[in-house]
Amino acid sequence: MNNYECIYVIRHTVDEEGIKALVERFNGLIAQEGGEVTNVDEWGKRRLAYPIDDDNEGYYVLINYTAAPQVPQEIERVFRITDDIIRFITIKLD
């Protein structure tokens, strides 16, 4: 099991219930794939460094988790097909 850190940005037009549902969805996906979420830190709405699809703001979420090496690939695949996620990055921690 490896330690990972993932930051993703949710579109600012999503309401609070939608944000909560997305966060729970991705935490559940990690657990479903055999990983364990160790920390979820919701940073809230912040200004983007540059406009993405004419959006200047986004809702930032940081997740730390432990999982097998194939889990981040599955998480990123789901990020790519979710319309409300505008950016994401996953880093393997030492």
All structural domains of the chain: 2-93 (3.30.70.60)
In angstroms, rounded to a whole number, what is the distance separating the alpha carbons of residues 45 and 26?
A: 18
What is the per-residue pLDDT for 89? Answer: 96
Amino acid in the structure at residue 29:
L
What is the per-residue pLDDT for 76? Answer: 94
What is the per-residue pLDDT for 27? Answer: 95
What is the per-residue pLDDT for 42? Answer: 95
In angstroms, rounded to a whole number, what is the distance separating the alpha carbons of residues 52 and 20?
A: 22
What is the per-residue pLDDT for 94? Answer: 84
Task: Give the orientation angle of helix 16-32 with respect to helix 71-81, to 10 degrees.
Answer: 150
What digits encode the pLDDT tens for the residues 4-63?
999 999 999 999 999 999 999 999 999 999 999 999 999 999 999 999 988 899 999 999
